[in-house]
Structure 1
Amino acid sequence: MNQLAGYDCCLDLVLNQVDQGVHIVDCAGMTIFYNETAAEVEGLQPADVIGKHVLQVYPSLTLETSSLMEVLASGKPIMNQQQTIVSRNGRIITIHYSTIPLYREGKLVGACDMSRDITKIKELSEQVMDLQVELLGTKGANKEKAKMREVKFAKYTFNDIIGSHDSIVKLKVIGQRVAATSSPILVIGETGAGKELVVQSIHNASTRKNGPFIAQNCAAFPATLLESILFGTVKGSFTGAENRPGLFELADGGTLFLDEINSMPMELQSKLLRVLQDGSLRRVGDTHVREVNTRIITCTNVDPEEAVRNKELRIDLYYRLNVVSLRVAPLRERKSDIPGLVVHFINLYNAKLGCHVEGIREEVSEIFYRYTWPGNVRELQHAIEHAMNVVSGPFISVDHLPEHLRQYAVVEDEQSYHFEEGQSLPSILKHVERTTLIQALAQFGGNISRTAAYLGIPRQTIQYKLKTHGLIDRIRNNNFVMGGSGQVEKT
């Protein structure tokens, strides 16, 4: 019998009334008491915590970083500390805590953590500091840099990333850890998965958060213009050129986010590599070397190793950018997050559009779970926004969804099949093959290569069967069979 199990029930009543979170574990780290204040702060239920190991409840912690586990190991108290954790429901919380060992008759029998949520206090203090830095920094700073800071503002934090799926919790945990360094980061994810949200969160969690955050899409400009934008120019370097700093200089002391890095022209990739290696650059047409302290975070919506094989990305640059790699899982891999995202977007557009929508119908929820979301979270957001513009009642129904989602529901109905008496085996096999092909393509977002690998047949065979079964036009006209990049994959 556990030595702490005999505590009087009156003590439970008292501990549930205090304004601090109280979390008690036994000597093995298993939770034996978790009060209501702690549950309210962390968004959990006591029943979800009691009987579970502390590291199971807080996936962001380890044996070395958990104060409860540290106290159990050392037998010594930890007093008046601050810690940021990711709870099991994905929420990031900053707490002020003290953790003490519990002894009975000289024997260590457990540990007690007493904490207070200071997340809001921390955020307010940081906002005051940001305002002070902005007031001081813009008085004597370069006007162009001050203007750039106002235009390019990173507004998102890790708490804006909605989801409690394991992949999202892990992403938040690792993202917070790497935010403390200045190493290059490569964020990989499909279009609409939320890559820039992650990048801005990393910037705002770093020591560079008071510096500028500048984003640039590498596919937006031709090579010559992109070079001058990134590295700056000197007067006379070409017709009309002026002395102008590039984005690397403007982001000095902050973060430069380069999106679609695989679209950067190869001749610029070598120049970018030099900046990453020694922290210095030359403006276009200049001989003077300038030092910069800019953190580089890059994104790609394609497999970077595939981009290397296709000679879209230099292999030496890839290894330099890929010091830390973060993958943002597509929505089809974390469908358990869809309900939370739906609630978030409904609340967002209720406020923006003046609506009073309460939720979605069950049949809409079923479509959302069956659909493969090639456009990911952004596509879900647009679907909710579309519905909110046409809905007239408190609930979103199938009729309020965009047409391609309604068609997808019809596609699912098509896949049910009843054999008829006298039907030939070839016709049955043809239908089964067609149905299997549709389901596999939907599962992999229309990616033909992945579908071929999953079915164990060559890519060319998939292309042939698409023609045989009359599915090519269907692929081009329906989003559920689009490639992971958001573009229809050519067959």
Structure 2
Amino acid sequence: MASTNQELASALRMFSRFFDLIHQPLAVINERGEYVYYNQESADLDGYSIERAMGKHMLDVYPGMKETQSTMLSSLKKGVEYIGHYQIYYNARGQAVDYQHTTAPLYASDGGMVGVIEIGRNMSGVRRLQEQVVELNQLLYADRHEKHHAIITENPEMLSNIAKAKRLAASNIPVTIVGETGTGKELFSRLIHQCSKRANKPFIALNCGALPPTLIESTLFGTVRGAYTGAENSQGYLELANGGTLFLDELNAMPIEMQSKLLRFLQDKTFWRLGGQQQLHSDVRIVAAMNEAPVKLIQQERLRADLFYRLSVGMLTLPPLRARPEDIPLLANYFIDKYRNDVPQDIHGLSETARADLLNHA
């Protein structure tokens, strides 16, 4: 053990100058999971200091992290490499960090593992730049795609989301919509479809939370006869939505193994039916929705970080109704007008008492 520690220390001395020239977050842990190298770029990204990290175990430096969430500790335990891996986490300043990195084990001359090295880059600025480029490009076309929509609001944040959705509609990038149940995620997905060049093609919605996990794959990808007992040749939603838009609601309810297959489809637009041998292609725009915060889902290992990175080039975050009280009377009057002929009572509007009760409840 002492000799392997010496080998690691010797290697660090040998390459320390080279490491200092790499202006990207770079860190090394020893076989006990303790930091033996932690550069200033890592400290700046994480909101810590070099002194706080050096010589301490990773989980002591990041008390909110679980061992299973750390690629460095996973590499140390299993001897695996992570190439171009995506992670989203909160740093010590409470900022969400979009991080891409490569992690690999380090071995001594006798073949024993002596530590792990990780080098990465902060993708948050790149993500913001992508969004700005998309928005600026779509401003040129936004006026051409003004269409009627069923989103009823006077809330400034919602109006801003409507404008952004119309700009995003002019491109083919995937979009992620985040919001609690009932905030209008499907309405926004339909707005994006209606304002896009795909408007005359299919719009298909799949609620991942409404199907048993065993049915999601066959529903999404289709089946071939004999794939399982009773299976017939059938098209999945990816085929049926060809040329149009597929809305995946409650994506966080999709099993992790299915998320891997969806990620492969996003990479090259190809897939296989369940039990099939023929590779198929479909030109589908994916709009995904989640009813929980993506960062929390990733930390809980219910959402793949690399899938989220692919899907969230375009992003909308919808506020709940309780955060936009000005919309409560507006929506109440809309539904009164819509359903007044379906009830025997003669209803003309919302009383002041009912209005106050609704606002107080919110």
Select the residue among 156, 159, 164 that pairs with 1:174: 164
Task: Describe the shift of the 1:368–1:229 C-alpha distance in structure 2 as closer, same or farther (beyond 3 A).
Answer: same
Task: Describe the shift of the 1:174–1:215 C-alpha distance in structure 2 as closer, same or farther (beyond 3 A).
Answer: same
Q: Within 5 A, what are the aligned runs for 1:62-141?
A: 83=143
Amino acid of the structure 2 residue aligned with 1:318: F
Secondary structure of the residue that 1:359 maps to in structure 2?
Answer: coil
Residue 232 (structure 2) pairs with residue 248 (structure 1): no
Amino acid of the structure 2 residue aligned with 1:235: R
CA distance in 1, matches of 2:291, 2:210: 15
**Contact 1:162/1:340 (CA < 8 Å) preserved in 2?**
yes
Q: Which residue of 2 aligns with 1:465?
A: none
Amino acid of the structure 1 residue aligned with 2:320: P
**Contact 2:142/2:166 (CA < 8 Å) preserved in 1?**
no
- Residues 220-229 or 309-318, more deviating: 220-229
Shift of 1:223: 2.6
Select the residue among 249, 256, 259 that pairs with 1:266: 256
TM-score of the superposition, structure 2-length normalised? 0.59
Residue 319 (structure 2) pairs with residue 319 (structure 1): no
Residue 352 (structure 2) pairs with residue 365 (structure 1): no
Residue 195 (structure 2) pairs with residue 205 (structure 1): yes
Q: Which residue of 1 aligns with 2:297?
A: 307
Q: Which residue of 2 aligns with 1:185?
A: 175
Q: Which residue of 1 aligns with 2:217?
A: 227
Shift of 1:342: 1.7
Task: Describe the shift of the 1:352–1:181 C-alpha distance in structure 2 as closer, same or farther (beyond 3 A).
Answer: farther
Q: Which residue of 2 aligns with 1:400?
A: none
Select the residue among 277, 294, 307 that pairs with 1:287: 277
Per-residue CA deviation, residues 272-326 of structure 1 (Å, 9 max, x unaligned), is 0000111000111112111110111111111111111111111111111111111
CA distance in 2, matches of 1:365, 1:242: 54
Q: Which has the higher contact order (CA 8 A, sep 6+)?
A: 2
CA distance in 2, matches of 1:371, 1:316: 39
Share of identical aligned residues, percent?
42
Shift of 1:173: 0.4
Q: Which residue of 2 aligns with 1:297?
A: 287
Count of residues in Structure 1 that have an aligned counterpart in Structure 2: 227
Select the residue among 343, 366, 381 that pairs with 2:333: 343
CA distance in 2, matches of 1:230, 1:84: 32
Shift of 1:222: 2.6
Q: Which residue of 2 aligns with 1:334?
A: 324
Q: Which residue of 1 aligns with 2:124?
A: none
CA distance in 2, matches of 1:166, 1:309: 31
Taking only aligned residues, the RMSD between alpha carbons, in angstroms, comes to 2.4
Shift of 1:355: 4.3
**Contact 1:232/1:284 (CA < 8 Å) preserved in 2?**
yes
Secondary structure of the residue that 2:242 maps to in structure 1?
Answer: coil
Task: Describe the shift of the 1:348–1:323 C-alpha distance in structure 2 as closer, same or farther (beyond 3 A).
Answer: same
CA distance in 2, matches of 1:172, 1:355: 35
Per-residue CA deviation, residues 26-65 of structure 1 (Å, 9 max, x unaligned), is xxxxxxxxxxxxxxxxxxxxxxxxxxxxxxxxxxx99x96
Q: Considering fraction of residues, name the structure with more strand.
A: 2
CA distance in 2, matches of 1:317, 1:255: 18
Shift of 1:84: 5.7
Amino acid of the structure 1 residue aligned with 2:197: T
CA distance in 2, matches of 1:177, 1:345: 29
Q: Which residue of 1 aligns with 2:33?
A: none
CA distance in 2, matches of 1:164, 1:185: 23
CA distance in 1, matches of 2:231, 2:313: 35
CA distance in 2, matches of 1:250, 1:228: 13
CA distance in 2, matches of 1:319, 1:65: 24
CA distance in 2, matches of 1:170, 1:261: 24
Shift of 1:200: 1.1
Instruction: State the 4+ residue runs in structure 1 displaced beyond 6 angstroms.
Output: none
